[in-house]
Homo-oligomer: A and B are copies of this chain.
Amino acid sequence: MTAPSVPQTTYVLTLSCPNRPGIVAAISGRLAELNANITEAQQFDDRDSTIFFMRIVFEITGGQTGTQQLRDTLAVLGATFSMEWALHDRSVKPKVLLMVSRFDHCLVDLLYRWRIGELSIAPVAIVSNHPRDVFADLDFYGIPFHHLPVTKDTKPAQEARILELFAATGAELVILARYMQVLSNEMAASLSGHCINIHHSFLPGFKGARPYHQAFARGVKLIGATAHYVTRDLDEGPIIEQDVERISHADTPDDLIRKGRDIERRVLACAVRYHIERRTIINGNRTVVFTP
């Protein structure tokens, strides 16, 4: 007779709270009492803000009862330490809504990483202000496509449609994969912490339009890209990841655009990975990123 198999779940817990002695002891003590096995833990004390940040990965058995017990325990800890916390089951793939305009390199890259199982997401919708024809060469592998054109006048209605879609699909993250429309303040606020954008410059350099042309005009020797959470302040959201590449006097704006595609797609993919692995915590206008 074999023992009944015990359901085991891997959770990622992220939290932040005012710093004070005993937080780690309290959390790890409670988790030990629940027979959780901690496999990863990272913490950060922000000396400026005196806020404490933590990410813990642990395995726990007990199925649904165990999960309720865990949530109850965290609720008590949360109250004790005035803690903001989030618990994610690692086996649940985050639902994401992908938005794109005409340039599809980031979209294609994310879809490839998803298709081969590298990026553990569940794309629930692709939204574009351009029609499906623009992406005629692309197989969307059954992901619903929504053409939501936008003009100055229709913007409120279009954004309302996007937010409806976001709610209806149960998405938890919007990825602006070179979506070239500026979100309204209201939309940005609604998606706060749930929307990642790729900006095609090494921010804070070259904000605004046509950053590669700006970089060319200024004669910089490196160009870059920036993935950030979207906030009301355009190009000012908390930065998740950045990278650069070397250019020379002989590179034209078109060369910068070409080199930029490579930087953009790897920076965005990296930022999305950090987000879905729950490695990012927003800290004011900055981020804590617990890199592997």
Chain A residues in the interface with B (C-beta under 8 A):
21-22, 24-26, 28-29, 31-32, 35-47, 105, 108, 112, 115-116, 118, 137, 139, 141, 202-206, 218-222, 224, 238-244, 248-252, 255, 258, 261-262, 266, 283, 285-289, 291-292
Contact = CB atoms under 8 A, between A and B. Distances in A.
Given A25-B29, A41-B41, 20 more contacts: A21-B32, A21-B36, A25-B28, A40-B45, A41-B43, A44-B249, A46-B249, A47-B252, A105-B112, A115-B137, A137-B139, A203-B218, A218-B239, A219-B285, A222-B224, A222-B242, A244-B244, A248-B289, A249-B286, A250-B292
A239 B220 contact: yes
Contact of A244 (B21, B222, B252, B287): B222
Nearest to A32: B25
Which 7 A-B pairs have CB atoms at the shortest separation, nearest pair first? A219-B286, A25-B32, A25-B28, A205-B205, A24-B28, A221-B242, A249-B288
Contacts of A204: 205-206, 218, 220
A287 B250 CA distance: 10
Contacts of A32: 21-22, 24-26
A115 B107 CA distance: 15
Nearest to A24: B28
A221 B250 contact: no
A116 B112 contact: no
Contacts of A137: 115, 139, 141
A219 to B, nearest CB: 3
B243 A222 contact: yes
A287 B248 CA distance: 9
A170 to B, nearest CB: 25
Contacts of A251: 292
